[in-house]
Amino acid sequence: MTTTTPSAPTRARPYRGTKVRRQRVRAAWTFLAPMLVALALVAGWPLLRTFYFSLTDGTLSTLGDASFIGLENYLVYDDGAWYGLLTDPMWWRSVWNTLFFAVVSVSLEVVFGVIVALILNVEFRGRMLVRAAVLIPWAIPTIVSAKMWAWMLNDQFGIINHLLMTLGIIDAPIAWTASATYSMWAVILVDVWKTIPFVALLALAALQMLPKDCYEAAEVDGIHPVRVFFKVTLPLITPALMVAVIFRLLDALRVFDVIYVLTSNASSTMTMSIYARQQLVEFQDVGYGSAASTLLFLIIALATVAYLYLGRNRLQLGGD
Amino acid sequence: MASVTLDKVNKVFGHTPIIKDVDLDIGDGEFVVFVGPSGCGKSTLLRLIAGLESISDGELSIAGQVVNDLPPRERGVGMVFQSYALYPHMTVYENMAFGLKLAKTAKETIHERVMATARILQLEELLERKPKALSGGQRQRVAMGRAMAREPRILLFDEPLSNLDASLRVQMRNEIARLHQRLGSTMIYVTHDQVEAMTLADKIVVLNAGRVEQVGTPHELYQRPATRFVAGFIGSPTMNFLPATLVTGNDAGCRVRAAGIGELALPQDTAQQVAGEALTLGVRPEHLRLAEAAGDNAFEIVNVEYLGNEVYVYLEPKAGETLLIHRSEAPSPWRVGQKVALVPDPEQVHLFDAGDRALGVATARAVA
Ligand SMILES: Nc1ncnc2c1ncn2[C@@H]1O[C@H](COP(=O)(O)OP(=O)(O)OP(=O)(O)O)[C@@H](O)[C@H]1O
Ligand SMILES: [Mg+2]
């Protein structure tokens, strides 16, 4: 007769030490190692170097003999006044611009992306064609589409001004990308135009996973379609939207190309990336530029952590 | 609570007719079961009544009102889907309350109704759970509760028990029957399980390829199937069919000869048939008797299944592939390899003409 005693013998064996488990751990590290090495080389090393440079007074031409100056690039008290990145109004303006751009453009992208996805989710003739067509803005390289829009938004020859004037909406051409009032909205417009397909595609995938029968149940129960959208569809696609938002947010917080092509270094649209590039490349101030880059990294990391923390329940919903 | 009337209802998908000229009267408070093989159009018919599909031709009335063009919500129906169709992100309580909130029902009324329904279906413990944390039977009950809470005039069920295991199925079957007694609402229930149909229905509608084969009480369908299809569909194990020829017959009875059985005197009215016509003899497994025999007319026993309370004996047929089945209470004296003669009870034999329609029992006897 074999009776298993749940006490001493079984518990005595150290769980961690089983052979199978050790093998699994080894296999896991074997598979992870190449990825970790690659990440360390292409992400970890540059990050560390940037952080190091931010603590020096290096310039593009004197990188070799840059000397360590501590946190002076960030903040320094000198002669009764504070200096450094943290006191630069232009830097804070860039931070604000970046956050504004990120929040507004990502919000608009999600709203319009979901609307486009809802349209694409309806059965109609030529749906496949429309689906492919919707992807075009996403497929065009940002530089190309930004250049394209720059021409269309051109104050003298641009088709946008031409159209608006023909329709009688405006009297005089507007310098969309040069005016301090409109340039931020112009870059948001272009970014939204370009990224709606991405959000729409993710939302569409989520929509197609939705249980059809729930909608029939709602129909029989006589629930208004708008209510069904907000109470059933939206909660069910939220996990997918959360993923779309995090991708987009990370992208938007380090936005560079769209804005650089459309408005160059204009202060009304200057973002953290553009600010850092200007310091590093134009002013050749590697130390100061690296400090900006380091802060940029910290802000993005902070935003991501905050987002993941706030959205943890919603994201978990998707893990079911 | 309401009656439902279908008048020459047709449904065409593309160019394929799926429901063909269905006429049906469902009385107020009746429990009607649609049965039929897979793909015969049971779900489609139910969805037509619910309003989830539009009727191609004909007329559908609920409580005397033609509802062909009314959307589902104005028909006063509740539906329990085969897949339950619960909202995955809502708790049991929210699932049941969701359909009520729309009706601008006062908050307390909603709460009372949900709680009352939960009590009937024994869901009180589960109200805060999400569907994924429920067992199949519990989800099933929630789906029923959601449909019931709205107090619809008509409850529609589409194979609600098909995802459950055998014992839960029996239990839920009983609960549904009791529910019907308690609520007294009109219920239309789709299943392909003839046991469910027999046990639950006031009235069974047998569908075959989009047509109504027969409508009747479970007893009528068992005792007097109108067609060979119904005869084969109702009853388990299924009825035995043997090819036969008419020897003589008139409106008071007939004599037929069947391979392996010989000549039988039967009470069926064969006034419309001519001698020598090919017929089909139908005998339920429980209405057969076996006797030891030898020679050409004997059937060989190829398998014996012991089920505890009863025994199925399978016999090699004289024609065709389908084994003949004999059913009796256990214990059974029969063994594989034995040769036996079939002795059908003439009172319990069904006779079908070449068009598979049942021949009626001569009137004098039918009355008796
Ligand atoms: N939307 C549709 N378009 C085209 N054909 C359909 C559609 N819905 C059902 N059918 C067809 O109608 C026929 C009947 O389908 P239905 O779902 O009513 O069968 P059923 O009797 O419920 O079968 P089951 O027991 O398998 O559920 C099938 O042949 C099916 O292919
Ligand atoms: Mg079905």
Domains of chain B: 4-231 (3.40.50.300), 240-359 (2.40.50.140)
Q: Whose CA is nearest to atom 7 of ligand 1?
A: B13
What does the pLDDT read at residue B190? 95
What does the pLDDT read at residue B367? 41
pLDDT tens figures, B9-31: 999 999 999 999 999 999 999 99
Say how far apart CA A109 and CA A103 lie, in whole Å: 10
Say how far apart CA B233 and CA B210 lie, in whole Å: 15
Query: Would you say B84 and B140 are in contact if contact means Cβ atoms under 8 Å apart?
Result: yes
Instruction: Reduce the DSSP state of residue A263 to 3 states and report it.
Output: helix
Q: Which of residues 217-276 of A touch B (CB under 8 A)?
A: 217-224, 227, 231-232, 235-236
pLDDT tens figures, A273-304: 999 999 999 999 999 999 999 999 999 999 98
pLDDT tens figures, A140-192: 999 999 999 999 999 888 999 999 999 999 888 888 988 888 999 999 999 99
* Exposure string for A217-236, b = 16+ CB within 10 A, e = fewer: bbbbbbbeeeebeebbbeeb
State whether the Cα torsion A280-A286-A287-A293 is positive or negative.
positive
pLDDT tens figures, B38-61: 999 999 999 999 999 999 999 999
Lowest-pLDDT range of A4-8, B184-188, B289-293 = A4-8
Q: What is the DSSP letter of A177?
A: T
Residue B60 corresponds to which tokens in the numbers above? 């559908």
Span A192-203, mean pLDDT?
94
Ligand 1 neighbours (beta carbon < 6 A)? B 13, 18, 36, 38-44, 192
Q: Whose CA is nearest to atom 19 of ligand 1?
A: B39
Span B111-127, mean pLDDT?
90
Residue B300 corresponds to which tokens in the numbers above? 């060989």
pTM tops 0.90, yes or no? no
Q: How confident is the model at residue A15 (pLDDT cuts 50, 70, 90)?
A: low
Q: How confident is the model at residue A318 (pLDDT cuts 50, 70, 90)?
A: very low
What value of ipTM does the predicted structure carry?
Answer: 0.80
A319 min Cα distance to partner chain B (Å): 12
Contact yes or no for A213 and B85 at CB 8 A: yes
Nearest to A254 by CA among A98, A24, A126, A119: A98
What does the pLDDT read at residue B1? 59
Q: How confident is the model at residue A91 (pLDDT cuts 50, 70, 90)?
A: very high
What does the pLDDT read at residue A17? 66
In chain B, which residue's Cα lies nearest the Cα of A226? Answer: B102
Contact yes or no for A221 and B150 at CB 8 A: yes
Say how far apart CA A275 and CA A277 lie, in whole Å: 5
pLDDT tens figures, A25-63: 999 999 999 999 999 999 999 999 999 999 998 888 888
Residue B82 CA, ligand 2 centroid: distance in Å: 8
Top CATH class of A89-284 equals: mainly alpha
What does the pLDDT read at residue B175? 86
Contact yes or no for B87 and A227 at CB 8 A: no
**Residue that the structure tokens 């039918």 belong to:** B366
Q: How confident is the model at residue A6 (pLDDT cuts 50, 70, 90)?
A: very low
pLDDT tens figures, B72-106: 988 989 999 988 999 999 999 999 999 887 666 68
End-to-end CA distance of chain A: 43
Q: Quick one: B251 exposed, middle or buried, by C-beta within 10 A (0-12, 13-18, 19+)?
A: middle
Helices marked H in chain A — which ranges? 8-12, 19-39, 45-53, 89-120, 127-134, 136-139, 142-152, 159-166, 183-209, 212-220, 225-228, 234-253, 257-263, 272-277, 286-310, 312-318
Domain boundaries, chain A: 26-82, 89-284
Say how far apart CA B268 and CA A137 lie, in whole Å: 78
Tell whether A314 lies on the interface with B, counting CB pairs under 8 A. no
What does the pLDDT read at residue A14? 54
User: Which chain A residues have a beta carbon less than 8 Å from that of B74?
Assistant: 222
Q: How confident is the model at residue A77 (pLDDT cuts 50, 70, 90)?
A: confident
Within 13 Å, how many C-alpha atoms sit on residue B308's CB side?
0
Peptide bond into B331 cis (omega under 30): yes
Max CA separation in chain A (angstroms): 98
